[in-house]
């Protein structure tokens, strides 16, 4: 078939008009939409998919549940999921496409802190309501203020301060510490916060090793040998996912757990996978106020039903990414409902929804949380030590303490890294009493 | 100080062994086919996943601990024996006549496809099957606890493979045919060697070695999507440093990288990641065709 | 020998691009990124003519992007930032090129890979300066002294990228037709004969290498000013692979190939990822495979085949 010049010119003239699938959906403002479209950015490939996919699964489950009881304000929800793995330039293009072509009403972004840092300014420009559902960087609301973004979870500061306070309570006399963190922003940031806080609360601790294995490392033998030789009292690691699993197993095989106390702030997500390989007495965190056996919420219907449905469908127990997704969706629902009520029943504008979410207090699967005026979420931090019980073939948390936000989160307008330097030993004692595990 | 160095050497050996196992297959394939197989890392990953799956199945049987190690070898042979000929016949044989760049990109495309195939088959949850390590148990060196797997098995298998390959390539007819094709394809074909058969054989063998590397790595670490990606870059660095098709070069390079990395973790941890690249650049500065490479005759 | 006229396809391409961008505003961003990548791939094309594949050109894209990111707080205008990006990439290209231009084939490819991965590690590790994997935010610069709000900014960036792509494509064409450019295929075919003719192959390759680094740096600068956020991933080896992928997809036959390939690549990736979020990588790989096996001169080759007037047979 030959393509003549004439044919080509004609085609080129006609093409933009004849391609309806790329024309934008008509955005109808303030009228109740036929459906509420949610754009969800998560990791569907690469190592972080160990969080990304459970997050997506939780979204599917909860959206179904919401829709079966009428949706939000009578409007059903529909999600459009995108993979943030290809990188920031891809994600930003996708956000634009979702906003302008798919007519998405709200974005839920992202797992990677780099993605969140890039998306928040874009959301302001596009006037796209955005909920930061999982990324932990405290820099977002510390360095800028955003009208169109809120966060329905805590951030790196409480996620690190709570384990430190817990360690101080459980093992107040430790002298030496070593850190083994993944070599990327989270690994570095979390260590910076820990070190500053530790030096303020317990000055004089000797850091015998600062090890930052490559992100995605599959072998920690050298690091483990060094740690065996150095014999620190405490070993801290904010690793997650497959790397944490590997580190735990390799350390267990070489009996490193016998020599040092481990503090693993993100280990709740690995408990089911590593099973009894993780011994008792390890300090474990859950990045927030959630766990499928949450001490105060575990008897409530909401959590029980969710855990059961999730387990039935996906064959796994829910971990913190699923709870973070739940918090985002429950928060969104509460925000819309409050705005609708304030409107006397009519559908709110984007600005109204976002302004309503500031200062919002809402209930989710495992408790209640609040969003501050600057958009940052406040949630208690669950900490505990591992214990092996009959009922499960993986460790559960015992001696749990729910650290309230006022003990662990820096106030609005301050920088986390500066605030932690002002902590004092008294902060350790102000924690609530531990709750034992109940069978 | 000497103690630290000794520890560094012991740690480096296991890592070097793994790197060698993966890279030697790629070196062979590149030497014979002159194709830099990006999908080599995928074969590594698939070998690891299959070994883990078989290992889990074996762990459920009565003969459990005894099977843990042979399972690794079986996985490698299975993966190599199936994927190798498949890929060679369906894909590679069509592109031998094409440009080198195109050949490389075909393997890059294959790598992209296989990444998603892994995800579709095994999912995204980290998989860990360490029966083999547990079967061999720990061993103490002074005050430090090592696993027998890393101290004895990995270096042992690597050394055996090296010696076996050297013997195979020097002393058997098939081996010498492979060497001949590596050195001068045209002359070898002129002597009556069926180059196509040699390609098929070498590629299958190289794939098996990659899969064996993966199988050996799987009991020590979690398998997640993307586990093959870093191996690719590392293997490339080894191949370039070793010299075309040079088995001994690959062994030496793997050793340098393994030990270099270990020592770096002890004395200059921030450099650990870039050690393979620094080694490559330094070697190529001094010996532009690789450690044991020699200039190729080029047409004038 | 300049080959067939590219005027009509270029005009068609530009018109199509602008038309699509006008009807679907979100495409402005995609196309600007595609044009920026196309510039980098244009550089790869130069090296491909010499039969050399660089697996590390993402290095120069990252150098350009991070130069913009670092310079932005002090330098506010695009017309200053872009030359800075190009300048930085050129300098790095010269330093690296002096070393790698001595090597060929796999060694050339792998050494480039090594340098790009070292740079990637530096970007990740020098956390205090580069913010590591979190990346650095770039505040939208002024363009010729004028500040634009979002929509007009995106249009101007797209226009600027188009102008640069067309202009540099034209220059590349002239370069490839010049004696220096004609020496490049000679390196691929019979390098020793080139030396016998008195032309230093190393010098030829070095000039082309530095030119390709400059082009990639320009592309990186544009990416930084479009995404407004730079991360170390820009230097990762898979991005280098992506550039080579685009080079083959587009086809090395003409300087339009890189831009055609980049546009199609970005569009395919977006639509594959939208339709199959769990399998987009597989689809991209299959597309590449298809092109190589059935249309190895790339999209440009397909276009050429469609539009060649068959010679009349006697």
Please tell me the predicted confidence (pLDDT) of residue A5. 60
| Of the partner residues C19, C125, C277, the one whose CB lies closest to the CB of residue A81 | C277
Is pLDDT of A133 > 90? Answer: yes
What is the Cα–Cα distance from C208 to C179, expressed in whole angstroms?
12
A253: domain range? 157-286+381-429
* Number of structural domains chain A divides into: 2
Is pLDDT of A171 > 70? Answer: yes
Task: Based on the fold, state whether residues A108 and A163 are members of the same structural domain.
Answer: no
Task: Based on the fold, state whether residues A248 and A180 are members of the same structural domain.
Answer: yes
Q: Using omega within 30 degrees of 0 as the cis cutoff, is the peptide bond preceding A110 cis?
A: yes
In a domain, C105, yes or no: yes
Task: Based on the fold, state whether residues A175 and A240 are members of the same structural domain.
Answer: yes
Task: Based on the fold, state whether residues A282 and A414 are members of the same structural domain.
Answer: yes
Judge: A47–B225 Cβ closer than 8 Å, yes or no: yes
Among A125, A107, A127, smallest CA distance to A116 is for: A107
Task: Based on the fold, state whether residues A360 and A245 are members of the same structural domain.
Answer: no
What is the Cα–Cα distance from A265 to C169, expressed in whole angstroms?
53
In a domain, C21, yes or no: yes
Q: Is B26 helix (H, G, I), strand (E, B) or coil?
A: helix
pLDDT band per the 50, 70, 90 thresholds, residue A10: low
In a domain, C301, yes or no: no
Among C293, C286, C256, smallest CA distance to C269 is for: C286
Task: Based on the fold, state whether residues A129 and A276 are members of the same structural domain.
Answer: no
The model's pTM: 0.88
Is pLDDT of A18 > 50? Answer: no
Among B259, B179, B234, B295, smallest CA distance to B21 is for: B234
In a domain, A437, yes or no: no
Residues of chain A contacting residue C275, judged by C-beta atoms under 8 Å apart? none
Please tell me the predicted confidence (pLDDT) of residue C295. 82
In a domain, C80, yes or no: yes
Chain A residue at shortest CA distance from B223: A242
Task: Based on the fold, state whether residues A104 and A133 are members of the same structural domain.
Answer: yes
Q: Count interface pairs A-B at CB distance under 8 A.
A: 115
| Of the partner residues C48, C125, C280, the one whose CB lies closest to the CB of residue B101 | C48
**Tell me: the pLDDT tens digits for C52-78?**
999 999 999 999 999 999 999 998 899
* Number of structural domains chain C divides into: 1
**Tell me: the pLDDT tens digits for C283-309?**
999 998 888 888 878 888 888 888 876
Task: Based on the fold, state whether residues A167 and A255 are members of the same structural domain.
Answer: yes
In a domain, C275, yes or no: no
What φ, ψ does residue C159 adopt, rounded to 5°?
A: -60, -45
C11: domain range? 7-236
Task: Based on the fold, state whether residues A255 and A172 are members of the same structural domain.
Answer: yes
In a domain, A161, yes or no: yes
Judge: B105–C278 Cβ closer than 8 Å, yes or no: no
Q: Provide the chain A residues 101-140 that lie in CB contact (below 8 A) with chain C.
A: 101, 112-114, 117-118, 121-122, 125-126, 137, 139
Is pLDDT of A272 > 50? Answer: yes
In a domain, A436, yes or no: no
What is the Cα–Cα distance from B111 to C67, expressed in whole angstroms?
32
What φ, ψ does residue A283 adopt, rounded to 5°?
A: -85, 125
Please tell me the predicted confidence (pLDDT) of residue A2. 53
* One pLDDT digit (tens) per residue for chain B, 300 residues: 778 888 888 889 989 999 999 999 999 998 888 888 989 999 999 999 999 999 888 888 776 677 788 888 999 999 999 999 999 988 888 888 777 778 888 899 999 999 999 999 998 888 888 888 888 888 988 888 899 999 999 999 999 999 999 999 889 988 888 888 888 888 888 888 888 889 999 999 999 999 999 999 999 888 988 888 888 888 888 988 888 788 999 999 999 999 998 888 888 888 888 888 999 889 988 888 888 877 765 545
Task: Based on the fold, state whether residues A197 and A165 are members of the same structural domain.
Answer: yes
Distances (CA, A) of B220 to A40, A248, A398, B150: 35, 11, 29, 9
Please tell me the predicted confidence (pLDDT) of residue A6. 60
Task: Based on the fold, state whether residues A118 and A181 are members of the same structural domain.
Answer: no
| Of the partner residues A8, A45, A186, the one whose CB lies closest to the CB of residue C281 | A45
Please tell me the predicted confidence (pLDDT) of residue C2. 47
| Of the partner residues B3, B221, B262, the one whose CB lies closest to the CB of residue A218 | B221
**Cβ of C185 under 8 Å from any chain B Cβ?**
no
Strands A361-364 and A77-83: unpaired
Please tell me the predicted confidence (pLDDT) of residue A14. 54
What is the domain-level CATH number for residue A143? Answer: 3.40.50.2300
**Domain C-terminal end among A375, A393, A421:** A375
**Cβ of C203 under 8 Å from any chain B Cβ?**
no
On whether the CB atoms of residues C261 and C249 are closer than 8 A, the answer is: yes
Residues B252-288 as b/e (b if ≥16 CB within 10 A, e otherwise) read: bbbbbbbbbbbbbbbeebebbbbbbbbbbbebbeeee
Token pair in block for residue C44: 């790869």
Please tell me the predicted confidence (pLDDT) of residue B236. 87
**Cβ of B248 under 8 Å from any chain A Cβ?**
no
Judge: C29–A5 Cβ closer than 8 Å, yes or no: no
In a domain, C269, yes or no: no
Residues of chain C contacting residue B298, judged by C-beta atoms under 8 Å apart? 191-192
In a domain, C2, yes or no: no
Q: Provide the chain C residues 5-44 that lie in CB contact (below 8 A) with chain B.
A: none
In a domain, A261, yes or no: yes
> What structural domains and CATH numbers belong to chain B?
2-286 (1.10.3470)
Token pair in block for residue C41: 């791939």
| Of the partner residues C111, C113, C245, the one whose CB lies closest to the CB of residue B108 | C245
In a domain, A73, yes or no: yes
CA of B247 vs chain A CAs: smallest distance (Å): 24
Is pLDDT of C314 > 60? Answer: no
In a domain, C203, yes or no: yes
What is the Cα–Cα distance from B153 to B146, expressed in whole angstroms?
12
Any idea which of A23-27, B6-10, C34-38, C285-289 has the lowest mean pLDDT? Answer: A23-27
In a domain, A149, yes or no: yes
pLDDT band per the 50, 70, 90 thresholds, residue A11: low
CA of B218 vs chain A CAs: smallest distance (Å): 9
**Cβ of A87 under 8 Å from any chain B Cβ?**
no
Task: Based on the fold, state whether residues A69 and A143 are members of the same structural domain.
Answer: yes
Q: Provide the chain B residues 88-117 that lie in CB contact (below 8 A) with chain A.
A: 115-116
DSSP label of B142: T
In a domain, A23, yes or no: no
Judge: A253–B133 Cβ closer than 8 Å, yes or no: yes
| Residue listed under structure tokens 């670490």 | B221
Q: Per CB distance under 8 Å, which residues of C are interface residues toward A?
A: 8, 12, 15-16, 19-20, 22-27, 29-30, 33, 124-125, 127, 131-135, 137, 150, 223, 226-229, 231, 233, 239, 266, 269-270, 273-274, 277-278, 280-281, 303, 306-307
pLDDT band per the 50, 70, 90 thresholds, residue C165: very high
| Interface ipTM | 0.87
In a domain, A14, yes or no: no
């Amino acid at each position: 078939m030959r393509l003549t010049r004439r044919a080509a010119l004609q085609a080129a003239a006609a093409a933009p008009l004849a391609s309806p699938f790329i024309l934008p959906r008509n955005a109808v403002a303030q009228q109740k939409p036929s459906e509420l479209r949610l754009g969800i950015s998560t990791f569907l490939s690469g190592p972080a998919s160990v969080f990304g996919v459970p997050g997506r699964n939780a979204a599917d489950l909860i959206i179904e549940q919401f829709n079966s009881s009428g949706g939000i304000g009578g409007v059903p929800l529909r999600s459009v999921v995108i993979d943030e793995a290809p990188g920031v330039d891809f994600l930003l293009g996708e956000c634009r496409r979702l906003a302008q072509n798919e007519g998405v009403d709200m974005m839920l972004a992202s797992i990677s802190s780099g993605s969140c840092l890039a998306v928040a300014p874009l959301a302001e420009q596009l006037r796209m309501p955005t909920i930061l559902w999982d990324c932990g960087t405290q820099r977002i609301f510390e360095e800028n203020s955003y009208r169109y973004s809120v966060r329905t979870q805590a951030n790196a500061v409480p996620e690190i301060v709570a384990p430190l306070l817990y360690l101080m309570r459980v093992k107040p006399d430790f002298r030496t510490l070593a850190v083994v963190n993944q070599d990327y922003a989270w690994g570095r940031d979390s260590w910076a916060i820990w070190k500053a806080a530790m030096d303020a609360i317990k000055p004089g601790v000797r850091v015998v090793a600062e090890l930052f294995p490559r992100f995605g490392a599959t072998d920690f033998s050298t690091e483990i040998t060094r740690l065996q030789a150095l014999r620190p009292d405490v070993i801290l690691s904010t690793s997650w996912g497959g790397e944490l699993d590997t580190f735990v197993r390799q350390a267990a095989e070489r009996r490193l757990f016998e020599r040092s106390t481990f503090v693993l702030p993100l280990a709740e997500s690995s408990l089911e996978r590593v099973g009894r390989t993780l011994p008792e007495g390890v300090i474990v965190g859950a990045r927030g106020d959630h766990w499928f056996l949450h001490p105060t919420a575990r008897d409530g219907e909401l959590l029980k039903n969710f855990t059961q449905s999730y387990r039935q469908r996906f064959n796994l127990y829910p971990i913190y990414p699923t709870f973070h997704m739940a918090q985002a969706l429950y928060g969104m629902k509460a925000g819309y409902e409050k705005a609708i009520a304030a409107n006397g029943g009519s559908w709110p504008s984007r600005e109204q929804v976002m302004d309503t979410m500031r200062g919002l207090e809402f209930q989710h699967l495992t408790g209640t949380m609040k969003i501050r005026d600057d958009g940052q979420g406040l949630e208690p931090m669950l900490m505990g030590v591992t214990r092996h019980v009959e009922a499960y073939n993986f460790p559960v948390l015992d001696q749990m303490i729910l650290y309230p936000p006022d003990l662990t989160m820096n106030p609005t307008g301050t920088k986390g890294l500066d605030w932690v330097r002002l902590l004092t030993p008294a902060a350790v004692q102000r924690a609530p009493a531990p709750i034992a595990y109940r069978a | 100080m000497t103690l630290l160095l000794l520890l560094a050497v012991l740690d480096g050996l296991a890592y070097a062994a793994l790197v060698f196992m993966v890279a030697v297959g790629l070196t062979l394939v590149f030497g014979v086919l002159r194709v830099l197989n990006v999908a080599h890392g995928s074969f590594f990953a698939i070998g690891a996943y299959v070994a883990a799956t078989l290992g889990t199945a074996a762990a459920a049987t009565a003969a459990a601990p005894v099977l843990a190690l042979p399972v690794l070898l079986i996985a490698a042979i299975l993966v190599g024996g199936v994927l190798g000929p498949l890929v060679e016949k369906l894909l590679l044989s069509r592109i031998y006549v094409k440009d080198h760049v195109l050949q490389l990109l075909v393997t890059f495309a294959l790598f992209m496809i296989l990444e998603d195939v892994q995800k579709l088959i095994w999912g995204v949850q980290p998989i860990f099957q360490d029966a083999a390590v547990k079967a061999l148990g720990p061993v103490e060196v002074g005050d430090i606890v090592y696993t027998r797997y890393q101290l004895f098995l990995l270096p042992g298998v690597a050394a055996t493979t090296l010696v076996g390959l050297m013997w195979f390539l020097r002393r058997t007819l098939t081996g010498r045919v492979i060497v001949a094709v590596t050195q001068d394809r045209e002359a070898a074909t002129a002597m009556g060697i069926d180059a196509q058969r040699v390609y098929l054989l070498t590629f299958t063998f190289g794939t098996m070695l990659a899969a064996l590397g993966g199988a050996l790595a799987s009991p020590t670490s979690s398998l997640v999507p993307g586990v093959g990606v870093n191996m690719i870059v590392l293997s490339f660095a080894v191949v370039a440093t070793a010299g075309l098709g040079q088995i001994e070069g690959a062994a030496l390079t793997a050793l340098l990288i393994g030990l270099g990395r270990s020592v770096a973790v002890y004395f200059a941890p921030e450099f650990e990641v870039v050690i393979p690249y620094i080694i490559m650049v330094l070697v190529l500065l001094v010996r532009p065709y690789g450690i044991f490479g020699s200039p190729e005759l080029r047409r004038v | 020998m300049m080959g067939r006229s590219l005027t009509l396809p270029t005009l068609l391409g530009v018109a199509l691009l602008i038309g699509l961008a006008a009807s679907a505003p979100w495409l402005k961003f995609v196309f600007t990124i595609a044009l920026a990548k196309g510039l980098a791939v244009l550089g790869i094309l130069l090296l491909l003519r010499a039969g050399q594949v660089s697996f590390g050109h993402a290095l120069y894209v990252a150098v350009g992007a991070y130069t913009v990111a670092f310079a932005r707080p002090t330098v506010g205008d695009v017309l200053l930032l872009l030359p800075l990006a190009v300048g930085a990439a050129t300098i790095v290209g010269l330093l690296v090129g002096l070393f790698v231009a001595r090597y060929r084939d796999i060694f050339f490819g792998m050494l480039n890979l090594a340098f790009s991965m070292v740079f990637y590690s530096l970007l990740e590790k020098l956390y205090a300066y580069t913010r590591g994997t979190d990346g650095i935010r770039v505040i939208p610069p002024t363009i010729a002294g004028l500040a634009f709000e979002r929509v007009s900014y995106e249009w101007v960036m797209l226009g600027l990228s188009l102008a640069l792509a067309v202009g540099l494509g034209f220059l590349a064409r002239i370069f490839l037709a010049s004696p220096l450019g004609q020496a490049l295929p000679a390196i691929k075919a019979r390098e020793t004969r080139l030396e016998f003719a008195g032309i230093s192959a190393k010098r030829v390759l070095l000039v082309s290498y530095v030119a390709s680094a400059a082009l990639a740096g320009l592309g990186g600068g544009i990416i930084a000013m479009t995404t407004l956020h730079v991360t170390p991933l820009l230097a990762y080896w898979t991005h280098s692979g992506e550039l080579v992928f685009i080079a083959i997809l587009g086809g090395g036959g003409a300087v339009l190939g890189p831009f055609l390939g980049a546009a199609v690549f970005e569009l395919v990736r977006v639509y594959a990822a939208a339709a199959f979020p769990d399998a987009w990588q597989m689809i991209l790989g299959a597309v590449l495979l298809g092109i190589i096996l059935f249309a190895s001169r790339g999209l440009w080759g397909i276009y050429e085949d469609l539009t060649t007037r068959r010679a009349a047979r006697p």
